[in-house]
Structure 1
Amino acid sequence: MNKKNVYVKFLGNRSLLLLWGGQTTSIMGDLLFNMAIMWSVYAHSQSILQSALVGVVWHLTSALFSPLAGVMTDRFDRKRTLISLYVLSALATLGFGSIVFFYGHLSIGFSLFFIFFINCLGVFYFPIETSIMPQIVEKQYLSYAAGTFSSIKQSAQLFGSMVAGFIISLLGVGLAITLDSLSFIVVAVLVFFIKVPNLNGIKVKKEKLSLVNDIKSGWRYIRKSSILFTLMWVALLLNMASFTGSIYPALVSQQLHGGAEILGLIEAFGFVGGIVAGFSSGHLFKRIKPGMLTVLFWVIAGLCTIGIGLSTNIYVTLGLEFFDSFALTGSAVCLNTIEMTIISNQYRGRVFGIIRGLSIVLVPLSTLFAGVLGDVIGVTPLFAIAGIWLMIVALIAFSNKSIRLFRMDEEERITQSH
Structure 2
Amino acid sequence: MESWKRKFAIIWTGQLFSILSSAIVGYAVVFWISMETRSAEVLSLAVMATLLPQALLGPLAGVYVDRWKRKRTLIAADMFVAFCSLILGLLFYFGKAELGYIYLLLALRSVGSAFHSPAMQAAIPLLAPETELMRISGVNQAIQSVCSIAGPALGALFITSFNMTVVMLLDVAGALIACTALLFVTIPDPVVKEQVDKKSVVREMKAGIREVRRHKGLGELMGISVMVTFILMPIATLFPLMTVNHFGGDTYQMSLVEIVWGSGMLVGGLILGLWKIKIRKVILINISYLVLGLYMLFSGLLPPQDFMVFVILTAIGGISAPFYSSPFTALLQTHIPSSALGRVFSLFGSLSLLPSMLGLLATGFIADSIGISRSFVWGGILILGLGILSFFIPSIMQLERKKKFKNSGGLPLC
Normalising by structure 1, we get a TM-score of 0.85
Q: Deviations over 1:124-162 (max 9, x none)?
A: 111100111111101122122222332233234334344
Q: Unpaired segments of 5 or more residues in structure 2? A: none
**Structure 1 counterpart of 2:214, one-letter code:** K
1:306 and 1:99 map into 2 onto residues whose CA distance is: 46
CA–CA distance in structure 2, aligned partners of residues 350 and 380 of structure 1: 38
Aligned Cα root-mean-square deviation (Å):
3.2
Residues 415 and 197 from structure 1, CA distance in 2 versus in 1: closer, same or farther, beyond 3 angstroms? closer
Range with bigger deviation, 329-338 or 44-53? 44-53
Query: Is 1:66 the equivalent of 2:58?
Result: yes
**1:27 to partner: Cα distance:** 1.8
Amino acid at match of 1:220: R
Q: Deviations along 1:192-226, whole A, 9 cap, x unmatched? A: 2221124423766x642321011011111111111
Which residue in the other structure is 2:376 paired with? 383
**Hey, what's the Cα distance between the residues in 2 that align with 1:48 and 1:375?**
15
Name which of 210, 221, 236 aligns with 1:220: 210
Are residue 21 (structure 1) and residue 13 (structure 2) matched? yes
Instruction: Tell me what 1:38 maps to.
Output: 30
| Deviation sequence 1:291-332 (CA, Å, 0-9, x none) | 122111011112223455566555334322221121111110
3-state SS of paired residue (1:70) = helix
Match of 1:150 among 132, 141, 144: 141
Letter in 2 for 1:30: S
Whether the 8 Å CA contact 2:125–2:133 is kept in 1: the answer is yes
Whether the 8 Å CA contact 1:274–1:326 is kept in 2: the answer is: yes
Structure 1: stretches of 5+ with no match in the other structure? 1-7
| 1-structure distance, mates of 2:244, 2:97 | 21
2:111 to 110, 113, 120: 120
Identity of aligned residues (%): 21
1:96-119 deviation per Cα after TM superposition (whole angstroms, max 9, x unaligned): 233345548854x65433322211
- Secondary structure of the residue that 1:196 maps to in structure 2? coil
Paired residues of 2:338 and 2:408 also in contact (CA < 8 A): no
1:85 equivalenced with 2:77 (yes/no): yes
Contact residue 50 and residue 109 of structure 2 kept, 8 A:
no
The residue number in structure 1 matching 2:280 is 289
**Distance in 1 of aligned mates of 2:197 and 2:391:** 42
Match of 1:231 among 221, 227, 250: 221
Paired with 1:219 and 1:320, the residues of 2 have a C-alpha distance of 37
Contact 1:161–1:264 (CA under 8 A) maintained in structure 2: no
Shift of 1:185: 1.9
Native 8 Å contact 1:27 1:157 kept in 2: no
What one-letter code is carried by the residue in structure 1 that aligns with 2:68? F
Tell me the alpha carbon deviations over residues 19-69 of structure 1, each in whole angstroms, 9 at most, x when there is no partner. Answer: 212322222122212322334445566665554444444442332111112
Q: Secondary structure at the match of 2:162?
A: helix
Q: 2:243, 2:254 within 8 Å by CA — same for their partners in 1?
A: yes
**Correspondence 1:276-355 to 2 at 5 A:** 276-281=267-272, 286-308=277-299, 312=304, 315-355=308-348
Q: So what's the TM-score if we normalise by structure 2? A: 0.86
SS at 1:360 equivalent: helix
